Structure 1
């Protein structure tokens, strides 16, 4: 069968789960990953065809997509902030909103003329997408990253190597930490923040396949991680230090109140590309 014909069949079979644009994007992601062919290559050569062996691979991937397994897990990688990251069932798939948080940190700290390097800590690093992206784009920074999952740290370490950066990874349960080992200019965290009551809003591909440890927090203490990290930041941020969080879109007001009561200053709550309250920055 010609690839162009299979493309039509592929999109049709996913039509009950995904819109045509998303299904088509899956097709071309797989095509490039498995065959090193781009959309333009197919447009220029309508005679390109799959082998019998190719069909076995494609039909297996199609079956997984019908079960709503994330395409990023099937390919074992994703793009974040222009960089290539390994992803697997032990780490969350990085989101565009988190790219906005990274961009904010970079814009605030790039090109600063100082003798000593900026020290940055990423708490709950997961795939390492924040830490690695900051290390790649802030050459004047020493970047550290903490996670409670050993498997996540193993993945993040591979992503640091993959993108040719140095990040110091620390295995630690931040909720059990009494103090941090040193002081930082920047602390950033995208901790678990989805309440159980919001599970009905979560798509099946996230709910069934991404690690719940990194997603959910108890309804009765939704700000648990923020309160703990902010408390540690009070003692471990250097003068004029910056604290950044990605937050639950429904809890912007509560975050402002929490950080205000803890005497942080210059509270700046920002919306993401979808017009949701998504990130907040404060100074010590």
Structure 2
């Protein structure tokens, strides 16, 4: 079968579940992973064909996509901040909004004299709730003078993050710890960053099936009446463990920007900034002690 013919059938049938543009993006992601071909390659070689074995392989992925299993899990990998990350059912699939948070941190470091200049140690960064390690690893890759640490409650997530650190040739110290049961971080950090669970149960109806049914709930949801539980605890630890000129960054629930600012103000954080994501939603904060 010609690849372009299979493409038409693939997009047409999946368009009943996903929109056509998303279905098309799936096709080209699989094409690049399976055959190392890009969209332009197919345009330049319209007579390319699939073998029977390749069609069987594609059909297997196609049937799983119809069940709304995330494509990133099916392929076992995804891209984040220009790097490749292994992903599986033990970790959240990294989002574009989180790339924006990483970019904010990196750009903030470029625009000022590094915090750790004049000290005997490197810039210390801590990522709390690291999951796949996407934040910690991207920061380690892009901030040369950084010593990066990362915490997660899930040992399986940490195993995935460790593989991703090796894959991307960076050194990150991974720590198995339940942050809600942590009294002190044990070190002084110049940057603490976290993208903790923040989706309230009342928001589940807004969550797509491919997220709700397949991504780890431990990393997603919080109780409706205690939605800021992770932020409050991390902020308390930051009060003890941030360096005098250190910064605290959060990715946040888009509906709780006002509440986040109020919490940080009540805890006497300074220089509080609330930033929107590319979609115009309140998505991240930056503050200092």
Measured against the shorter chain, the TM-score band is over 0.9
2:171 to 166, 176, 199: 166
The Cα of 1:198 is off from its aligned counterpart by 0.3
Residue in 1 that maps onto 2:12: 12
How big is each residue's C-alpha offset from its partner over 1:172-197, in whole Å with a ceiling of 9 and x where there is no partner? Answer: 00000011110100000000000000
Aligned to 2:186: 181
Which residue in 2 is equivalent to 1:230?
235
Which residue does the alignment assign to 1:201? Answer: 206
Please say if 1:83 is aligned against 2:88.
no
How do 1:41-80 and structure 2 match up within 5 A?
41-80=41-80
What is the TM-score normalised by the length of structure 2? 0.97
**Partner residue, 1:146:** 151
SS at match of 1:188: strand
Taking structure 1 as the reference length, what is the TM-score of the superposition?
0.98
Note the alpha carbon deviations across 1:102-129, whole angstroms, 9 max, x for none.
0111111137351431100000000000
Please give the secondary structure, in 2, of the residue aligned with 1:233: helix
What is the number of residues matched between the two proteins? 284
Segments of structure 1 that go 5 or more residues without pairing to the other structure are none
SS in 1 for 2:18: coil
Following superposition of structure 1 onto structure 2, how do residues 250-269 of structure 1 map, counting pairs within 5 Å?
250-269=255-274
CA distance in 1, matches of 2:174, 2:286: 23
Work out the CA distance in 2 between the residues paired with 1:41 and 1:107: 35
Residues 25-44 of structure 1: pairs in structure 2 closer than 5 A:
25-44=25-44
Moved segments of 4+, more than 2 Å: 110-113
Partner of 2:216: 211
How far did 1:240 drift? 1.3
Deviations 1:200-223 (A, max 9, x none): 000111000000000000011000
> How much does 1:44 deviate?
1.1
Match of 2:279 in 1: 274
* 2:272 alignment partner, SS class: strand
Equivalent residue number for residue 23 of structure 1: 23
Stretches of structure 2 lacking an aligned partner (at least 5 in a row):
none
SS state at 1:142 partner: strand
